[in-house]
Amino acid sequence: MTTAAPANPLVSIQNLTVRFNRGARPVDAVNGVDLQISRGEVVALIGESGSGKSVTLRSLMRLHPSKSTRIGGQITVDGIDVMGLGGRALADYRGAIAAMIFQEPLTALDPVYTLGDQIVEAIRRHESISIADARKRALELFERVRIPSPERRLAAYPHEMSGGMRQRAMIALALACRPKLLLADEPTTALDATVQIQVLLLLRELQRELGLAVVFVTHDLGAAVEVADRIAVMYAGRIVEEGSTRDVIRAPAHPYTLALLQSRAEGSMARGQRLQTIPGSPPDLSRLPPGCAFADRCPLADVTCRSTQPPRVVVAPEHASRCLRSHELLSKAP
């Protein structure tokens, strides 16, 4: 039994696998990801570092080096077979259909061109439009993402902007060609708490205004709650739980999701109280165990968990988990 997939999803990922052939042993970074994303929907991918979130995101843009990466499965975005794209068709897809906000804009933006020139170039790459009209749209984008003194900032270089302003400029660049899918790879990680909130609220406002589908990668469950309609929890390259934000947060059906929630600092915590931690470390992706990858860190695991790969089980409408003990876990929920 599976949860009902969207009737006409904008994004369909089926059995995605990503193997990096570097060093002595290949690394299986993504191991059979299935994900459907509707038009106008925000999905948050959450999990620890190394769980496969960013690798999945970059696969949607086909950014992995072909010589050292083997990608399997199927990715369809707006009816386009992304895995079959190459050359000019792939360049046409990037920016116009799917665009990406990178984690660190200072390294993603070109340091030798002004921000205005970079946005103008992106627009003119995809549309037959004059430089003057492209610059006018760039100015409108800077105004939309609330960059102060936008005309002056168009003439600025990336290093002349603060971290928060650079991230807003990166968002403007990603939206320049009016994509249908926006991929945000931990866009607030390098920012202080106040600016993080501003950027999150801006992203959610723009998403609603423009009707974008968004995949938002984050470590921060609080950020996911603020922006996401649905949450997909990743561990060892697999989606181990998926459901509406409300269901996943209020009734986690996988021990890993529960452990992530318990390791957060809650406002109601007593002063001096210790945070709960997840024991052990994530598995070596070049030597994945035969059973559940979380078994060695899971308080509910038994012999079967260590030998059997858990199937995807529906625990409620639109809520699924890959755990043999999901129903037992839910029965203990308050």
Instruction: Please give the average per-residue pLDDT across 72-76, as a whole number.
Output: 96
Q: What is the pLDDT of residues 58-69, one digit of tens each?
A: 999 999 998 899
Q: What is the pLDDT of residues 165-209, one digit of tens each?
A: 898 999 999 999 999 999 999 887 767 777 788 888 888 889 999
pLDDT at 142: 94
pLDDT at 3 over 60: no
Per cent of the chain over pLDDT 70 is 95
pLDDT at 1: 37
Instruction: Please give the average per-residue pLDDT across 81-102, as a whole number.
Output: 93
Fold of 9-97+226-264+278-334: Rossmann fold (3.40.50)
pLDDT band at 213 (very low <50, low <70, confident <90, very high): very high
**How far is it, in rounded angstroms, from Cα 24 to Cα 127?**
45
Helices (H) and strands (E) in the chain — how many of each? 13, 12
Between 71 and 276, whose confidence is greater?
A: 71
Question: Does residue 323 contact residue 310 with C-beta atoms inside 8 Å?
Answer: yes
Per cent of the chain over pLDDT 90 is 68
pLDDT at 191: 72
pLDDT at 32: 94
Handedness of CA 145, 150, 154, 157 (dihedral sign): negative
pLDDT at 265 over 70: no
Instruction: Please give the average per-residue pLDDT across 297-308, as a whole number.
Output: 92
- Mean pLDDT, the chain, rounded, equals 89
Tokens of 235: 């561990």
**How far is it, in rounded angstroms, from Cα 103 to Cα 143?**
22
**How far is it, in rounded angstroms, from Cα 32 to Cα 238?**
6
Return the domain boundaries, the chain: 9-97+226-264+278-334
Q: What is the pLDDT of residues 4-29, one digit of tens each?
A: 555 689 999 999 999 999 777 899 99
Handedness of CA 12, 15, 20, 21 (dihedral sign): negative
pLDDT at 323 over 90: yes
Cβ neighbors of 299 (< 8 A, separation 6 or more) are 255
Give every strand in the sheet of 11-20, ordered side by side. 27-37, 11-20, 69-77, 80-81
**How far is it, in rounded angstroms, from Cα 20 to Cα 283?**
16
DSSP 125-190: HHS---HHHHHHHHHHHHHHTT-SSHHHHHT--GGGS-HHHHHHHHHHHHHTT--SEEEEESTTTT
Question: Does residue 141 contact residue 119 with C-beta atoms inside 8 Å?
Answer: yes
Instruction: Taking each helix axis as running N to C, give the angle between helix 193-210 and helix 163-175, from 0 to 180 degrees, rounded to the nearest 10.
Output: 10
pLDDT band at 253 (very low <50, low <70, confident <90, very high): very high
List the single range of 3-7, 26-30, 97-101, 119-123 with lowest mean pLDDT: 3-7
pLDDT at 260: 92
Instruction: Please give the average per-residue pLDDT across 155-170, as a whole number.
Output: 91
